[in-house]
Structure 1
Amino acid sequence: MSAAVRTVLALGSNLGESRTTLSDAVAALADHPAMKLVAVSPVARTKPVGGPEQPDYLNLVAAFETTLDPHQLLEHCHQVENLHQRTREVRWGPRTLDVDIITYGTEHVNDDDLVIPHPRAAERAFVLQPWAWMDPDAVLEGEPVAELASRAQDHSGVELFEGE
């Protein structure tokens, strides 16, 4: 078995019982013999970025150690999305659950199915701010995540979610 790699996943939901969906999704991601949950961010309420008019999102970031390779990890993320009735009808449209691979160790992947690090992560406060709350020393491609979050265009649309 290969050595475990630290991966950062971003989860978002704006349809249904989003807070419960996010908690259940983190548990489902961790409920795999090759996945070990390391940390979970606080939940953020965020304004939608792009796409049609839609409700606010709840977002969080979770760190795992995994022995899955990047494509196996992507398949596992898709399986968890499918458990939560994820459909892909409208790009950047509303969804019950979205799980994105943000980083996979220091590896870079760029093929038709997967790009790691996530190509828009450095511009998205809805990913960066929860990540910075979870890990204030986190770095993405050599830049502090907290600084990237503060410069992101959508930064003003991200707030700590205090609800249930």
Structure 2
Amino acid sequence: MFKNMFSKKAELTKTIELKAFVTGNVMKIEDIPDPVFAEKMMGDGIAIVPAEGSIFSPVNGDIMHVFPTKHAISIKTANGAELLIHIGLETVSMNGEGFTVHVTEGKTVKVGDALITVDLDMVKKRAKSTVIPIIITNTSDMLNIDKPILSGKVTAANDTILAITAK
């Protein structure tokens, strides 16, 4: 009777909501002008075309990885979802120029905490696109990914853009 009550799975939150991580316009993952994202090779998700350069945490979770080139960050959520926020397309070649990281690996973050600030004008000049995908890299471990907003304007840390349910 008590076996399931104290198991690790019982402690996990099954469904979590992801808030917008930047203010801008939502884009379907299939519409991202990059086949790695559009064809969901890294996992399922959604994207936002940013109106500003401040990127915030969409969830409560732990920073798993900050890429040395500062263009991407990964977060693990309470239900085990592993999220990748990738700032712009083909931004790795910028070698961190124009990016300011506000967190470190292992840090616990809450919805709305500042993650990265990016100079969008620099990205527009030096990269393929400013679009920012968020990908659930362990999609196969999730039961359901609900996308309540598939287009239109969203406000960072305010609008729910995804709901992820673990198996």
TM-score class, shorter: under 0.3
TM-score when normalising by structure 1: 0.28
Relative to total residues, which structure has the larger helix share, 1 or 2? 1
TM-score when normalising by structure 2: 0.28
Larger RCO (CA within 8 A; separation ≥ 6):
2
Relative to total residues, which structure has the larger strand share, 1 or 2? 2
- Choose 1 or 2 for highest CA Rg: 2
